[in-house]
């Protein structure tokens, strides 16, 4: 959470940093601020969004700015107000810092600094860190980079930081542990940012800092990377960015979320391109092929994830167990790491994460590795922390997902997980050659079938019109559509703030049925393959209690259509792949309801896309 952007160089630092901050707003958007360096060091900050900061800056008239450092915040320590917004000054006003992460031992450090005469204007852990840096700087009489290094050695927690010094024009100091930090390298200019999106139109040369690394950049003096532990030099590894500007812009859609929903057919193709060779009856996944023996010997697979990625894991549980006949467990990463998990030799952990930065998932795989598990990462963001921490893995190649509510990440995760399961089933011979071929053919059809599902957009908009004032909503599904029900409910609550719950349809009679009356919309996934008759009975139970039924059905269905208030048809596919289609109308329904309620779809309140705190 929190996004940081810094720039030092000749071309308008203020606009570069403000533009970068709006691209990083998905990481947090409850306050924003910027530090500007000319002959003096200025800080402008405000509660609210980057747009509010832009307005505030317009009223100022700074000239000759040669470096700037910005921040968009998702509050951890201290409520989101002007004082707690970053950047924070050190007591003397010489240094300014932006920070993404949490300093866990900030309280004892703060008490120590108070005893040494420091005072604090905010409730943040970050202000403690910049004063610790200043204290080291003054007492040890060292350079700022060295003071940052020494201070960070006293810190417990996670950080990506940027620091500016009033007395060292052009210099930016950055460091990372746990939270991501990329450095963009241009001609006589440098960028630092939480991801590469703020600088992709200026340079494609980037360095992703590793944990415990510190960087010093200066337009004239260049770049130096040091180890936080001992200040020894590190040879930088410069990568060429594959990201393009178009992929992070709205492209004519009103919201990123809608764009990303409509990108799903292409995103799914991008996920299986080069991996699924239907004519050759082959799946090639280097992460699996290179470790086939490990997978074939596995006694159990444990999926670890959070949020929507956890729902993708639940879908995968059905597919893996069905195709591989191997026990699968699905765990919230946060729960896994805070008990004493039993990991046996032969256990494989599959970590699923769109961002590849979710703190709980990252910590959980570190624990799993320490306990001897082999870790396979399924991430979207290339070079992300989880991808790097895993023993091997596969990228989803969904392209940047900017809307906070996850959509194409979910369907591409299911796509890659389906490929993994099918590849392993083939190797284990738990699937016949014919069934394997059928599976590939069905998966190959999915992108065009997703397109068909998207064509129902206008119908779904009118259903949204009828229910956008609802205060509660139930989502029901069975089998591999049960996780889709959970995901549908999550989407609705995230972006429209309507209370929604997902349940296995058969569980309804054990409690939720008590809630049903004529005010209650119930979304039921009732596709033909997969417990159809049972779900039809559940629909009858809802109907007899006057609930309003919105049913997602297989094209041509008549039985459910006769009972439901609304039906949304999706094309037919294999039962295991149905979630790739049944989730589409639920995404659209949530989207249109949220728009009709006037909600900020791409930046729902209190949420952030990348949760880098525990
Ligand atoms: C946040 C996001 C969700 C996401 C979850 C896990 O809560 O708002 O959309 O599903 O984190 O994120 P990950 O990047 O690990 O998939």
Tens digit of pLDDT for each residue in 459-500? Answer: 999 999 999 999 999 999 999 999 999 999 999 999 999 999
Look at residue 233 and tell me whether its pLDDT is greater than 90: yes
Look at residue 243 and tell me whether its pLDDT is greater than 80: no
The residues with which 380 forms a beta bridge, in sequence order, are: none
Confidence at residue 4, expressed as pLDDT on a 0 to 100 scale: 96
Work out the average pLDDT over 304-323.
Answer: 97
Cis peptide before 87 (omega within 30 of 0): yes
pLDDT band with cut points at 50, 70 and 90 for residue 534: confident
Look at residue 179 and tell me whether its pLDDT is greater than 90: no
Confidence at residue 614, expressed as pLDDT on a 0 to 100 scale: 72
Residue ranges lining ligand 1, Cβ < 6 Å: 306-309, 353-355, 358, 361, 404, 406, 607, 609, 611
Confidence at residue 427, expressed as pLDDT on a 0 to 100 scale: 97
Work out the average pLDDT over 207-216.
Answer: 96
pLDDT band with cut points at 50, 70 and 90 for residue 530: confident
Work out the average pLDDT over 578-602.
Answer: 97
> Could you tell me what percent of the chain has a pLDDT over 90?
82
pLDDT band with cut points at 50, 70 and 90 for residue 379: very high
Q: What angle do CA 440, 394, 410 make, to 5 degrees?
A: 70
**Among the options 45, 49, 110, 609, which is catalytic?**
609
Across 342-351, 423-432, 480-489, 568-577, least confident range? 342-351
**Among the options 2, 306, 379, 480, which is catalytic?**
2
What's the predicted TM-score (pTM) here?
0.83
Look at residue 277 and tell me whether its pLDDT is greater than 90: yes
Helices 50-58 and 13-23: crossing angle in degrees, nearest 10, is 160
Cα–Cα distance, 10 to 122 (Å, whole number) = 33
pLDDT band with cut points at 50, 70 and 90 for residue 514: confident
The number of the ligand 1 atom at minimal distance from the alpha carbon of 381 is 14
Cα–Cα distance, 210 to 220 (Å, whole number) = 24
Helix, strand, coil shares of the chain as percentages rounded to 5? 40, 25, 35
The verdict on whether 609 is a catalytic residue reads yes
Nearest residue to 463 (alpha-carbon basis) of 556, 599, 589, 551: 589
Across 276-285, 406-415, 602-611, least confident range? 602-611
Q: What angle do CA 389, 393, 396 make, to 5 degrees?
A: 115
Confidence at residue 608, expressed as pLDDT on a 0 to 100 scale: 80
| Strand stretches in 455-562, DSSP E | 472-477, 499-504, 521-526, 548-554
From the CB of residue 174, how many other CB atoms can be counted at a distance below 10 Å?
A: 27
Residue 279's Cβ-count burial label (10 Å; 0-12, 13-18, 19+) is exposed
Confidence at residue 382, expressed as pLDDT on a 0 to 100 scale: 81
Tens digit of pLDDT for each residue in 70-119? Answer: 999 887 777 888 889 999 999 999 999 999 988 989 999 999 999 999 99
Cα–Cα distance, 340 to 337 (Å, whole number) = 7
pLDDT band with cut points at 50, 70 and 90 for residue 337: confident
Look at residue 244 and tell me whether its pLDDT is greater than 80: no
Work out the average pLDDT over 322-347.
Answer: 92
Cα–Cα distance, 12 to 18 (Å, whole number) = 10
Look at residue 34 and tell me whether its pLDDT is greater than 80: yes
The verdict on whether 480 is a catalytic residue reads no
Look at residue 511 and tell me whether its pLDDT is greater than 90: no
pLDDT band with cut points at 50, 70 and 90 for residue 347: very high
Look at residue 613 and tell me whether its pLDDT is greater than 80: no
Pocket test for ligand 1, best of 304, 311, 354 (most atoms within 8 A of CB): 354
Confidence at residue 505, expressed as pLDDT on a 0 to 100 scale: 85
From the CB of residue 183, how many other CB atoms can be counted at a distance below 10 Å?
A: 26
Task: Compute the distance from residue 603 Cα to the ligand 1 centre, in Å.
Answer: 13
Confidence at residue 178, expressed as pLDDT on a 0 to 100 scale: 83
Across 9-23, 188-202, 510-524, 587-601, least confident range? 510-524
pLDDT band with cut points at 50, 70 and 90 for residue 345: confident
Confidence at residue 102, expressed as pLDDT on a 0 to 100 scale: 86
Look at residue 26 and tell me whether its pLDDT is greater than 90: no
pLDDT band with cut points at 50, 70 and 90 for residue 152: very high
Residue 444's Cβ-count burial label (10 Å; 0-12, 13-18, 19+) is middle
- The helix (run of H) or strand (run of E) holding residue 452 is helix 433-454
Task: Compute the distance from residue 3 Cα to the ligand 1 centre, in Å.
Answer: 16
Nearest residue to 591 (alpha-carbon basis) of 471, 463, 448, 479: 463
């Amino acid at each position: 959470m929190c996004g940081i952007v810094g720039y030092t160089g000749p071309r308008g630092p203020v606009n570069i940093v403000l533009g970068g901050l709006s691209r990083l707003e998905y990481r947090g958007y409850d306050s924003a601020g910027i530090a500007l360096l000319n002959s003096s060091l200025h800080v402008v900050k405000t509660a609210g969004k980057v747009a509010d900061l832009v307005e505030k800056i317009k009223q100022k008239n700074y000239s000759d700015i040669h470096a700037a450092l910005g921040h968009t915040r998702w509050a951890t320590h201290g409520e989101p107000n002007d004082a707690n917004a970053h950047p924070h000054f050190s007591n003397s006003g010489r240094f300014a810092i932006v920070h993404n992460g949490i300093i866990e031992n900030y309280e004892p450090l703060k008490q120590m600094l108070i005893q040494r005469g420091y005072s604090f204007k905010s409730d943040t852990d970050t202000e403690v860190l910049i004063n610790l840096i200043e204290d080291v700087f003054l007492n040890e009489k060292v350079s700022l980079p060295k003071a940052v290094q020494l201070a960070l050695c006293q810190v417990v927690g996670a950080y990506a930081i940027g620091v500016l010094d009033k007395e060292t024009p052009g210099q930016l100091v950055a460091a990372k542990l746990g939270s991501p930090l990329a450095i963009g390298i241009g001609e006589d200019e440098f960028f630092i940012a939480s991801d590469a999106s703020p600088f992709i139109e200026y340079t494609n040369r980037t360095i992703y800092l590793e944990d415990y690394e510190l960087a010093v950049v200066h337009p004239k003096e260049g770049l130096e990377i040091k180890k936080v532990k001992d200040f020894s030099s590190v040879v930088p590894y410069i990568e060429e960015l594959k990201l393009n500007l178009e992929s992070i812009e709205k492209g004519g859609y009103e919201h990123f979320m809608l764009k990303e929903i409509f990108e799903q057919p292409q995103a799914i193709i991008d996920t299986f391109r080069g991996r699924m060779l239907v004519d050759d009856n082959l799946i090639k996944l280097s992460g699996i092929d290179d470790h086939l023996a490990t997978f074939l010997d596995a006694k159990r697979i444990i999926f670890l994830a959070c949020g929507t990625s956890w729902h993708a894991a639940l879908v995968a549980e059905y597919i893996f167990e069905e195709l591989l006949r191997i026990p699968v467990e699905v765990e919230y990463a946060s729960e896994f790491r805070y008990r004493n998990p039993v990991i046996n030799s032969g256990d494989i952990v599959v970590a699923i994460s769109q961002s590849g930065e979710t703190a709980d998932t990252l910590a959980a795989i570190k624990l799993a590795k320490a306990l001897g598990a082999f870790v396979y990462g399924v991430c979207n963001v290339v070079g992300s922390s989880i991808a790097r921490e895993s023993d091997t893995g596969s990228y989803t190649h969904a392209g940047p997902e900017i809307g906070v509510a996850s959509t194409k990440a979910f369907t591409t995760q299911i796509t890659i997980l389906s490929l993994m399961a099918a590849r392993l089933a083939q190797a284990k011979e738990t699937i016949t050659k014919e069934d394997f071929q059928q599976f590939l053919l069905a998966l190959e059809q999915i992108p065009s079938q997703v397109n068909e599902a998207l064509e129902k957009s206008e119908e779904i908009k009118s259903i949204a019109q009828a229910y956008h004032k609802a205060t509660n909503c139930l989502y029901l599904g069975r089998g591999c559509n049960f996780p889709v029900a959970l995901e549908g409910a999550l989407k609705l609550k995230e972006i429209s703030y309507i209370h929604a719950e997902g349940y296995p349809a058969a569980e309804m009679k054990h409690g939720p049925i008590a809630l049903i009356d004529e005010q209650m919309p119930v979304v039921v996934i009732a596709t033909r393959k997969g417990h159809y008759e049972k779900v039809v009975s559940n629909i009858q139970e809802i109907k007899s209690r006057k609930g309003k039924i919105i049913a997602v059905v297989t094209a041509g269905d008549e039985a459910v259509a006769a009972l439901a208030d609304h039906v949304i048809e999706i094309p037919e596919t294999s039962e295991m792949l149905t979630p790739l289609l049944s989730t589409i109308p639920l995404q659209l329904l949530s989207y249109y309801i949220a728009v009709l309620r006037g909600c900020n779809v791409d930046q729902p309140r209190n949420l952030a896309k990348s949760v880098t705190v525990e």
